[in-house]
Amino acid sequence: MSESRRNTAPYKAGRHFLQIPGPTNVPDRILRAMDNPTIDHRGPEFARLGREVLAGLKHIFKTEQPVITYPASGTGAWEAALVNTLSPGDRVLMCETGHFASLWRELATRLGLEIEFIPGDWRHGADAKLVEAKLAEDKAHKLKAVCVVHNETSTGVTSRIKLIRDAIDRAKHPALLMVDTISSLGSIDYRHDEWGVDVTVAGSQKGLMLPPGLSFNAVSAKALAASKSNKMPRSYWDWNAMLKPNESGFFPYTPATNILYGLREAIAMLMEEGLDNVFRRHDRHAAATRAAVKTWGLEILCLEPAEYSSSLTAVLMPEGHDADRLREVILNAFDMSLGQGLSKVAKKVFRIGHLGDFNDLMLMGTLAGVEMGLELAGVPHKKGGVAAAMDVLTRAAKGG
Ligand SMILES: *Cc1c(COP(=O)(O)O)cnc(C)c1O
């Protein structure tokens, strides 16, 4: 037996429960779509694929404007959004909603941007009133962009992007609005054009149900205009080098062909179900999860009900109990992965991912695994969370 075989864990029957808030379960239809020969990315068959996915993406972002696709993780699309629109030394307004907003700030700082960071408690979304006040103060229009994470995956808090747009408009400020939708696109209602977003950043491995490896920038005419004269150096990420070949379905360098096969299938699946139904399904699973958490007597990290995330729920552990130990117990006993607490909330929270290709009974299995895990790990809680979630789902199935 080879070294690698001997190190392999014994076979575990059934499917692993991947309930982290991304990467998410990749459905069989998408796996099968990707299981095809890689084709000539300069040939006519590829052109059809390229045109089809680039057009299909517009429905998902709710935009008539171009969606640029990179063979990169979401972080690459963050960088692309900034380097295509801003110049070194530009001031940018960001909101500390959690770990991902903090990482975006770090990335922007490394690029030579000056960040004004509105502090946050990691339990609320971006505060539109504070954004408006900052912009109103900025009479000289030194702030060139406002960057917000739509769904903060580290906390399970969804910021209301429409309110941020309204705040920018009320302040009559010309700053670009950039939004990270990496864990909301295809799970939570999002409208690039209607909400006047200039750059929407997204990734493949969460609501789009794909493996990691693709990311996106949906761009407005105003963002494109900024990209013609901004001073940030870039080459690989350059929108203008992408847009010309994209018109005929091609890319300026080798695209991730097989993930694009998967993307074509993912778009078809989302359109077949209907985006509104997809959003309602995520809302229902989030509501059922919260019913379980409340019955267990545990606390949801998000403090504002209007900002509850429909793609994940972050749960606070009782004082003196370690979330990572609970996750370890659950992984070992039930073969389920839950999301860990990140940076400021490390060990204090665990996150239940309920986004992507997911249905009522998968959620029930997930919540049963958590309830049994709480018992096994000796975490104080009340029983009946699973039953409470069943009630929510049964009511919904009755149409009530
Ligand atoms: C997952 C995630 C990221 C990071 O994306 P990568 O694909 O890991 O680079 C950024 N922002 C949010 C909101 C995320 O959920």
Give the three-state DSSP class for 376: helix
Query: Looking at this protein, which amino acid is placed at residue 79?
Result: E
Burial class (CB in 10 A: 0-12, 13-18, 19+), 199: buried
User: If we measure between CA atoms, which residue out of 124, 57, 74, 89 comes closest to residue 260?
Assistant: 57
- Residues 320, 298 contacting (CB under 8 angstroms): no
Question: Beta strands 114-118 and 199-203: pairing type?
Answer: unpaired
Give the three-state DSSP class for 318: coil
| Overall average pLDDT of the 274-284 stretch | 98
Dist. CA 258–CA 63, nearest whole Å:
25
Query: Looking at this protein, which amino acid is placed at residue 33?
Result: A
Q: Answer yes or no: pTM beyond 0.85.
A: yes
* β-bridge partners, 339: 351
Contacts 24+ apart (CB under 8 A), 179-182: 179/147, 179/148, 179/149, 179/150, 180/74, 180/78, 180/100, 180/101, 180/104, 180/147, 180/148, 180/149, 180/150, 181/150, 181/151, 182/22, 182/74, 182/77, 182/100, 182/151, 182/153, 182/206, 182/215
Q: Which class in CATH covers the domain with range 28-271? A: alpha beta
Q: pLDDT per residue over 129-181, tens digit each?
A: 999 999 999 999 999 999 999 999 999 999 999 999 999 999 999 999 999 99
Given this model, what pLDDT does residue 6 score?
58
Q: How many C-beta atoms surround the C-beta of residue 286 within 10 A? A: 25
* β-bridge partners, 61: none
* β-bridge partners, 19: 338
Nearest CA owner, ligand 1 atom 2: 182
Which atom of ligand 1 is least distant from the CA of 21? 15
- CB of 100 within 6 A of ligand 1: the answer is yes
Q: pLDDT per residue over 230-256, tens digit each?
A: 999 999 999 999 999 999 999 999 999
User: If we measure between CA atoms, which residue out of 26, 15, 29, 18 comes closest to residue 209?
Assistant: 26
Dist. CA 137–CA 221, nearest whole Å:
26
Mutation to probe ligand 1, out of 100, 158, 312 (largest number of atoms < 8 A from CB)? 100
Q: Does domain 11-24+274-397 have CATH number 3.40.190.10?
A: no
* pLDDT of 1 over the 50 cut: no
For the chain, give the percent of residues with pLDDT over 90: 97
Write down the mean pLDDT value for the chain: 97
Given this model, what pLDDT does residue 2 score?
46
* pLDDT of 3 over the 60 cut: no
Given this model, what pLDDT does residue 7 score?
63
Q: How many residues does the chain have?
A: 400
Given this model, what pLDDT does residue 156 score?
98
Given this model, what pLDDT does residue 149 score?
98
- CB of 74 within 6 A of ligand 1: the answer is yes
User: Where does the pLDDT of residue 9 fall: very low under 50, low under 70, confident under 90, or very high at 90 and above?
Assistant: confident
Dist. CA 117–CA 268, nearest whole Å:
39
Mutation to probe ligand 1, out of 182, 204, 309 (largest number of atoms < 8 A from CB)? 182
Mutation to probe ligand 1, out of 75, 103, 105, 309 (largest number of atoms < 8 A from CB)? 75
* pLDDT of 397 over the 50 cut: yes
Give the residue extent of every domain in the chain: 11-24+274-397, 28-271
